[in-house]
Structure 1
Amino acid sequence: MDYEYPDGSGDYDEAVPCNMTGYNKDELTIQTYIYSVICALGLVGNVLVLVTYAFYRKAKTMTDIFLVNMALADLLFVVALPLIIYNEQYSWSMGTWACKLLRAAYSINVYSSTLLLACISGDRYISIVKATRSIRIRSQARAYSRLICVLIWLLAFILSSPTFIYYQMDHNECITIFEKPVTATLMKILIPSMQMLIGFLLPLMVMIFCYSWTIATLLKAKTFQKHKAVRVVLAVISVFVLCHLPYNVALLVYISKLFTVRACKEEQLTLMTLSISRSIAYLHCCLNPILYAFIGVKFRSHFCQILQDLRCLGKRYIYSGRSSQQTSDLYVSAVKTVVEHNHDNQSSFTM
């Protein structure tokens, strides 16, 4: 707990505790509603992506494999989000390991999803800019796409390891505890710095490079579809920047003020800015399915097929009165029909 000295004398005995949350009840309520919307949209969107790839189309291309892993990363974070909300507002009572896992959920999601986005941009760059050699390059790279995903997940866990190590339970609060002041100083700088560099700047640089060449190549083509693809690329980059840039700027400001004397109101404003910008960053996990999956024509057709199959199953269950085995057979039949008609191996992120 930080303290503010109202008379400026620096007398610790007369210090007034500074409320480090800076929130009132209404602001907490608004934040809870925002997180709830993010959780609901992210859950529905990413589950639909995984269901589509599991039953309606196979992940054949590199981008498809990256999309499946990105949906899984976003889904894991979305599942943890309600407990993160609870932890921010109430005393923690779920144990040390739950504390560590939930605190690491966002870190793992940031590293894995943003690096996967960079990989998707690289695959799009090869398929469009290097179109004459893309079949050979992508066929070779596809063999290693699952290995790339494994390495990304491994890197995300390694970079998130300080969270597993230093978060502990203290008086029913999930907080960081450092044994030595030197370790505390190093980790308070290193953890957010690595998140900014590897979780934001590196993927952003890769995306800017790959998509700049992609846009330049697409603009040379005069067809309507190519120009529509340019707008898709611009939307992808814009949403990524708008979601992650505010939080990373807030982190940079936080680090710059970390070891300076700060007034209570200034610290409250800094922490509130971090919290608001972090909520915006959370929003990206429910926008990913829209930008990278549902925007593709083929993926939308699969989504419509899912809704149609669910409606048929509902009618069959309500009106036919047949056994549950017959209903299950109908579902499997519908899935097989869609899969049999899906012989193309193009990415769902159609350009």
Structure 2
Amino acid sequence: MVSVTSDYDYSAEGDYSDDGLCNLNPNPVEDIIQTCIHSIICFFGLIGNALVIVTYIFYKRTKTMTDVYLFNVAVADLVFVVALPFIIYNERHSWLMGPVACKMLRSAYSINLYSGMLLLACISGDRYVAIVQARRSFGARSRTLIYSRLICSVVWVCAVALTLPTLIYTEHFEEQNLGAETVTVMCQLSFSKNETAKLMKVLVPGLQMAIGFLLPLLVMVFCYCRIMCTLMRAQSSLRHKAVRVVFAVVVVFIMCHLPYNVTLLNHTLSLFKERSCEPEKIKLQVLAISRSIAYLHCCLNPILYAFIGVKFRSHFQQIMLDLWCFSKKYIYSARTSRRTSDICISGHVSSDGSNNMSYLSARHCSGTNLSKTDN
């Protein structure tokens, strides 16, 4: 199984010092474990980010700049967790969905990476302005909502532009297995010229590390350090909780993305050097594990940035209440339909006290539907 986000084929360049062929494909046990982990990430990432989007669209009437950023982060993460099962399926079934799906699915992670990381940097900058520069931004907050939408549009355009090398050079092709008559269907970066291959195999991971990790990290560290200093000087009973939240945001970001980017940098620096087979296998295993850890961030984003807030938690409780009331009304309607059918068949009408209680309960639920939103 080819790496889920193998925008660059590490085995295509460089020489191996071992005699004979070097099989860099993961063994079946690693393949199964990786699939299970990615399935868990897809499940929780889909639920968490979908709840953020539903809350933003249907339950949160008053929008802020941070809400706009959070909504776009959830969309970016949702795009990736929806694409990930299709990537896994195609890799296990020789890319049955064809070359178009190959290009689009391979580009999904790149778009998620750039847009999601840049938007997290925007959130940290917005919080910096709101807390550290509170006096200057107090009168302008209501007028900057349109700017946040414009900034998000620019971020998406930049993410698509940075993904163009992956989109252009990713190809769906068949590769003859050496020493065998079988062929392997591949979906990865493919180049017709060695100069282009050398350039892209340094440029693509270089951009990913610089813009997809280092730039957002520097912005977040600067903004959140200033925010923590401001909160520590504030005379508030909630400052310690706010400081812990800020600290958790930075620590989780570093723990999720630093291992993968360090491993990626190590691979990039050794691309055109002579490599031995066994150490290269170990490097690819470490890269796969660290990449899966990086994927976890799309599951943690809704918790760290959305549902840790009081308002989003109240909206989440309202969603659960509305779903409960909807299910009760659906069950009541189904029971009423069955009883009406029984009455028509038997030819008599009966009165049931429990039925009246169900009706009252349904009326109570209908009264709570979408009425308790933002205060």
Give me the TM-score of the superposition, normalised by structure 1. Answer: 0.89
RMSD: 2.2
- Counterpart for residue 16 of structure 1: 20
The yes-or-no answer on 1:69 pairing with 2:72 is yes
| Secondary structure, counterpart of 2:80 in structure 1 | helix
| Secondary structure, counterpart of 2:372 in structure 1 | helix
Q: Where does 1:250-265 land on structure 2 (aligned, <5 Å)?
A: 250-265=263-278
Distance in 1 (alpha carbons) for counterparts of 2:311 and 2:317: 10
Structure 1 residues 141-180: Cα deviation after superposition (integer angstroms, max 9, x where no partner): 3221111000000000000000110001111210211111
- Counterpart for residue 219 of structure 1: 232
| Secondary structure, counterpart of 1:174 in structure 2 | strand
The yes-or-no answer on 1:297 pairing with 2:328 is no
Structure 1 residues 265-324: Cα deviation after superposition (integer angstroms, max 9, x where no partner): 12111111111111111110011000011100110111011111111111111134368x
Q: Where does 1:82-97 land on structure 2 (aligned, <5 Å)?
A: 82-97=85-100
Contact 2:17 2:275 in 1 (8 A): no
Q: Which moved more, 1:266-275 or 1:67-76?
A: 266-275
Once superposed, which parts of structure 1, at least 4 consecutive aligned residues long, lie more than 3 Å away?
1-6, 87-90, 320-323, 328-336
- Counterpart for residue 337 of structure 1: 371
Of 145, 159, 184, which residue of structure 1 is paired with 2:148?
A: 145
| Secondary structure, counterpart of 1:64 in structure 2 | helix
- Alpha-carbon deviation of 1:83? 1.5
- Which of the pair has more CA radius of gyration? 2
What letter corresponds to residue 17 of structure 1 in structure 2?
Answer: L
| Secondary structure, counterpart of 1:168 in structure 2 | strand
Distance in 2 (alpha carbons) for counterparts of 1:329 and 1:144: 43
Structure 1 residues 105-129: Cα deviation after superposition (integer angstroms, max 9, x where no partner): 1110010011110111111111111
| Secondary structure, counterpart of 1:123 in structure 2 | helix
- Alpha-carbon deviation of 1:262? 0.3
Change (3 A) 1:221 1:330: same
Distance in 2 (alpha carbons) for counterparts of 1:138 and 1:333: 34
- Counterpart for residue 8 of structure 2: none
- Counterpart for residue 134 of structure 1: 137
Q: Where does 1:114-125 land on structure 2 (aligned, <5 Å)?
A: 114-125=117-128
- Counterpart for residue 180 of structure 1: 193
Give me the TM-score of the superposition, normalised by structure 2. Answer: 0.83
- Counterpart for residue 217 of structure 2: 204
- Alpha-carbon deviation of 1:335? 4.2
Distance in 2 (alpha carbons) for counterparts of 1:270 and 1:88: 21
Of all paired residues, the percent bearing the same amino acid is 56
Distance in 2 (alpha carbons) for counterparts of 1:141 and 1:262: 53
Q: Where does 1:96-111 land on structure 2 (aligned, <5 Å)?
A: 96-111=99-114
Distance in 2 (alpha carbons) for counterparts of 1:4 and 1:118: 40
Structure 1 residues 29-70: Cα deviation after superposition (integer angstroms, max 9, x where no partner): 111110011000000001111111111113611000000001
What letter corresponds to residue 290 of structure 1 in structure 2?
Answer: I
Contact 2:45 2:299 in 1 (8 A): yes
- Counterpart for residue 10 of structure 1: none
- Counterpart for residue 347 of structure 1: none
- Alpha-carbon deviation of 1:88? 3.8
Of 39, 43, 49, which residue of structure 2 is paired with 1:40?
A: 43
- Counterpart for residue 33 of structure 2: 30
Q: Which runs of no fewer than 5 residues in structure 1 stay unpaired?
A: 7-14, 344-351
- Counterpart for residue 233 of structure 1: 246
The yes-or-no answer on 1:157 pairing with 2:160 is yes
Q: Which moved more, 1:312-321 or 1:173-182?
A: 312-321
Contact 1:126 1:138 in 2 (8 A): no
Distance in 2 (alpha carbons) for counterparts of 1:176 and 1:146: 33
Distance in 1 (alpha carbons) for counterparts of 2:96 and 2:40: 25
Change (3 A) 1:331 1:83: farther
Matched positions, count: 330
Distance in 1 (alpha carbons) for counterparts of 2:141 and 2:255: 30
| Secondary structure, counterpart of 1:58 in structure 2 | coil
